[in-house]
Structure 1
Amino acid sequence: MYKFILFLCLSITVLYASNPLMYAVLGDKIYNNLDNIKKLTTIGDYYLYQDDINKYIVDVNKAKAIGLSLDENSSPKERKAYLKELRELSSENDYYTRLATTSLYTSMQNGNSLLFTKIINSGLINTQENKKVILDYYFAHQNDINTTGVIDLYLKEDKELKAKREASAKKLITKKMKEEQRIKRIRKDDEIQQLKLEKRLDKAVEKKKKEIRKEQKKELLKSI
């Protein structure tokens, strides 16, 4: 009874504890993906993997407990053993991730929309990398698909992207209109300045003509 309580306390501590800092790059991938792998047993034929996944869960929790117990004072042997365990668990993690991706494409080929929906929301699929094929399938089978989750996120992102594009286009049009108005004002100012210049020139020419006529009259009177 005491051992069971101790094991239970340890399991709860491991479950809610932060990930070990040692070899975190490798460990975080494993620990953060554990809940997603647990979901596999509720999807399609993955119940067949129930025993393997349960064992994997136990192994991951054990590794996490070991990782949390290690620090800079731990021996090289302990660190090496922990690293070896992480590498083995990483291979299993990758295996389940590949399995989920395979199931995604199988579900689309077979038109299994229920499996498709569960897989894309499992957290094991690279949804950005597979966004196009997921949306293509959704639009072809949208009457059979519950959009809650990834699909809703896609549609929201696309709606926001569309709104941003429209806002950007509107802003560009407004900017273009402002530029056209500015050019019109410049041209109008140029026309006004040109008219003023022409008037000044006309006045100067007229003044010059008057002076010439006046001089001509003087010369004519002298010659009489």
Structure 2
Amino acid sequence: MKRQRSPRSSSRPSASRRESAKPLGKLRIIGGDFRRRQLPVLDHPGLRPTPDRVRETLFNWLGQALSGKQVLDLFAGTGALGIESLSRGAAQVTFVERDIHVAALIRENLATLKTAQGKVVTADAQAFVKAPGQPMDVVFLDPPFHQGLAAPCCAALESGGWLASDAMIYLETEQSLAPAVPANWQLYRETQAGESIARLYQRLPA
């Protein structure tokens, strides 16, 4: 679950923002070493969880592809996709989340799980992928809806060296959007849930 917020004039959170950063409920880990563990998530404006059914479908698609892999979770939100990857054997997951409160809770949840394989970067996801990167085996890309972020992020991942030669890229968008993705990304699977559509792409050598 992911979202992007407009910049504020001050880095100090307002009273209303502090009040909104309260635990809302629990994130349930579906499979792997942390299966059935429940972690707190925040009641925070714009936080849009990937439904459990879609998450379960996605990780069924990926199967054993996560063991020993490098994973990038952009617009990380609760970090559900990245944490699920760690549970299923990913070697390292980089979580990119702009909001300091949301990013802090990902760090707390990783500490609760006693895993050192997760790294949280507090940064704007679009700006993050514009910088040169190291090849990732799996990328989760779930930008906020109706902000036109999917296409430029996809292009930046491809052009910036962020993708391994056979990388898998998960992209979740609003149903009304037909995302423009690089020509060498082959659609592998897709599913719909509510107002969103989830697609998994396999990268082919350019």
TM-score, normalized by length of structure 1?
A: 0.25
Greater Cα radius of gyration, structure 1 or 2: 1
- Considering fraction of residues, name the structure with more helix: 1
- Considering fraction of residues, name the structure with more strand: 2
TM-score, normalized by length of structure 2?
A: 0.26
